[in-house]
Amino acid sequence: MAAVGSAVGLPARAADLPADPVVAREVRDEFRHSWEGYKRAAWGYDEVRPVSGTRHDFFAPGHTFGLSIVEALDTLWLMELDDEVKLAADWIEAHFDPAADVEVQVFEAVIRLVGGLLAGYLCTGRPKLLTRCRELTDRLLPAFTSSPTGLPYRYVNLRTGAVSGSVSPLAEIGTNLPEFGLLSRLTGDGRYLAAAKRAAREVVARRSSLDLLGTSLDVESGRWADTTSCAPNPPVDSFHEYLWVGSDLLGDDELRSWYRLLADAVAKYQLEQQGGHYWYRQVDFATGEVLGHEQSELAAFYAGLLGKSGDLPTARVYYRSWTALTELAPVLPEKFDFLTGQVVDARNQLRPEYLNSAYDLWRLTGFGEYKQTAYQYFQTVKWALRVPGGYTVAEDVSTSPIRLGDLTPGYWFAENLKYVYLMFAAAPRFDYRRGLLSTEGKLLRGANRL
Ligand code: DMJ
């Protein structure tokens, strides 16, 4: 790939990292900067538009779930910003409505809201957060239980239980095992885990003879709607992730064996070497025929997953492929073609995936490379996407200067800075041995609550 965008003014790569506490303080300060920006312009609303100082409703126009508050809660707690934790938890207890008359996207509601409330409960011990979580999940369940196959519909109205969206990508079908499994554990009500496990089982049962999965299924007929295997890219990315994370959190060997079977097939048919780098191509799930070479930035999380699931050699090369890309495109574009070297989508949605893998691989190996590269990417994002009102997405990272957008996505408060902070902070509230974060960076295990 040719260089993307100009790096004029980009801070030079530091030969030596500042001391850990110095970095941790800087990361925490940056989190506060964006959190204060959200509070000033959009408190109580889902997301802030930090350039214009306006708000964005994430789930449904005209309705708020206070998404950024739910997303930020456990990060605030890990960073020991306790006045803010109280403010956030008080807001949720007073205003979060799990029975709103709105249609929500089930996948987003699970990873952001159910996960956020669970993590908030584990961190603060405030029982109402668990109650809200359960009420919300009860209202998401019709997406699973009214489906003839058990594969969930994409949308559900929280008040009426009406469902819609019968063609669903795999990430939306299967990104719920840890949240639902944990909720079942905490409440003693097995319905949540049973629904999640059934959905995952139904998907795995439909794998091809090559042990590959397609991209999307018709949840009513159970037939494939798209038979391209695009893992680990979206929209199937976290389906694979959650077989592993679910098996870890729930101690479920069946999930682990499904993960292994599918991951081995992805490695066999989709992994491609290009100039010393690894990328994952798209193939037909039945024949293995190569269909494309697009790589989404979201796939960068897979380096961490490969490491966690035991394939550190591949994880290391895949992570380094992304690091090499940051030398050409310091602020990673959303999507590129690894065969032609062309950027396919030049936006940057303040994505956390590269930092997520840095954190996972650092935890597994302790290697300084991951801290160094995470720090560098943090500095780059600070240089490029920091605005007086917080941090924003970019419309085009290939222009000089980078053309900014106007949104702080909710996941920014759950993921990016949490990963970097945990690498440098020796955070006393985090159990570094047992700690487990969800696909949305939510702390689902390992909150050291005294
Ligand atoms: C987050 O909402 C989660 O990480 C999800 O799994 C997919 N990616 C977005 C952020 O990029």
Q: For residues 425 and 330, what is the distance between their CA atoms, to the nearest angstrom?
A: 25
Residue of 67, 70, 111 to test ligand 1 pocket, by largest number of atoms within 8 Å of CB: 111
Number of helices (H), then strands (E), in the chain: 18, 22
Domain ranges of the chain: 20-445
Q: Is the pLDDT of residue 9 over 90?
A: no
Closest alpha carbon to 360 in 264, 253, 200, 241: 241
Please compute the mean of the pLDDT values over residues 169-189 and round it to a whole number.
98
> Which residue's CA is the nearest one to ligand 1's atom 6?
439
Q: How close is the Cα of 234 to the center of ligand 1, in Å?
A: 9
Q: Could you tell me the sign of the dihedral formed by the alpha carbons of 239, 240, 246, 249, in that order?
A: negative
Q: How close is the Cα of 412 to the center of ligand 1, in Å?
A: 10
Q: Is the CB of 298 under 6 A from ligand 1?
A: yes
Average pLDDT, the chain: 97
Residue 4's pLDDT band (boundaries 50, 70, 90)?
Answer: confident
Residues 6+ apart with CB under 8 A from 291: 228, 281, 282, 283, 284
Biggest alpha carbon–alpha carbon distance for the chain: 58
> Which residue's CA is the nearest one to ligand 1's atom 11?
351
Residue of 68, 298, 444 to test ligand 1 pocket, by largest number of atoms within 8 Å of CB: 298
Q: How close is the Cα of 240 to the center of ligand 1, in Å?
A: 13
Segment (H or E) for 283:
strand 282-284
Name the packing angle between helices 115-124 and 82-95 (round to 10°): 130
What are the pLDDT digits (tens) for 206-260?
Answer: 999 999 999 999 999 999 999 999 999 999 999 999 999 999 999 999 999 999 9
For 257, how many CA atoms within 13 A lie in the half-sphere containing its CB? 5
For residue 352, the model assigns a pLDDT of 98
Phi, psi angles (nearest 5°) of residue 333: -75, 160
Name the packing angle between helices 177-187 and 115-124 (round to 10°): 50
Q: How close is the Cα of 29 to the center of ligand 1, in Å?
A: 23
Residue of 172, 237, 353 to test ligand 1 pocket, by largest number of atoms within 8 Å of CB: 353
The number of the ligand 1 atom at minimal distance from the alpha carbon of 112 is 2
> Which residue's CA is the nearest one to ligand 1's atom 3?
440
Contact 217, 152 (CB under 8 A): no
The pTM of the full predicted model, rounded to 2 decimals, is 0.97
Report the share of the chain in percent with pLDDT over 90: 96
CA 321 to chain CA centroid, nearest Å: 20
The number of the ligand 1 atom at minimal distance from the alpha carbon of 441 is 4
The two tokens of residue 190 are 């097995």
Q: What is the DSSP letter of 101?
A: S
Q: How close is the Cα of 144 to the center of ligand 1, in Å?
A: 22
More confident residue, 8 or 139: 139
> Which residue's CA is the nearest one to ligand 1's atom 1?
440
Residue of 107, 411, 415, 437 to test ligand 1 pocket, by largest number of atoms within 8 Å of CB: 411
Residues 6+ apart with CB under 8 A from 31: 75, 79, 413, 417, 421
Q: How close is the Cα of 232 to the center of ligand 1, in Å?
A: 13
Q: How close is the Cα of 450 to the center of ligand 1, in Å?
A: 30
Contact 87, 36 (CB under 8 A): no
Q: Is the CB of 351 under 6 A from ligand 1?
A: yes
Q: How close is the Cα of 173 to the center of ligand 1, in Å?
A: 15
Name the amino acid, one letter, at 232.
Answer: P
> Tokens 């495109």 label which residue?
329
Q: How close is the Cα of 440 to the center of ligand 1, in Å?
A: 6
The number of the ligand 1 atom at minimal distance from the alpha carbon of 409 is 10
Q: Is the CB of 238 under 6 A from ligand 1?
A: yes
Which residue(s) pair with 279 in the sheet? 272
Please compute the mean of the pLDDT values over residues 36-41 and round it to a whole number.
98
Segment (H or E) for 104:
strand 103-105
- Does domain 20-445 match CATH 3.10.450.50? no
Q: How close is the Cα of 245 to the center of ligand 1, in Å?
A: 15
What are the pLDDT digits (tens) for 327-362?
Answer: 999 999 999 999 999 999 999 999 999 999 999 999
Q: Is the CB of 352 under 6 A from ligand 1?
A: yes
Q: SS3 of 79, please?
A: coil
Residue 13's pLDDT band (boundaries 50, 70, 90)?
Answer: confident
Residues 6+ apart with CB under 8 A from 319: 303, 304, 357, 358, 361, 370
> Which residue's CA is the nearest one to ligand 1's atom 10?
351
Contact 119, 437 (CB under 8 A): no
Q: Could you tell me the sign of the dihedral formed by the alpha carbons of 130, 156, 151, 415, in that order?
A: negative
Residue 91's pLDDT band (boundaries 50, 70, 90)?
Answer: very high
What are the pLDDT digits (tens) for 124-161?
Answer: 999 999 999 999 999 999 999 999 999 999 999 999 99
E strands in 362-407:
386-387, 390-391, 394-396, 403-404
Residues 6+ apart with CB under 8 A from 94: none
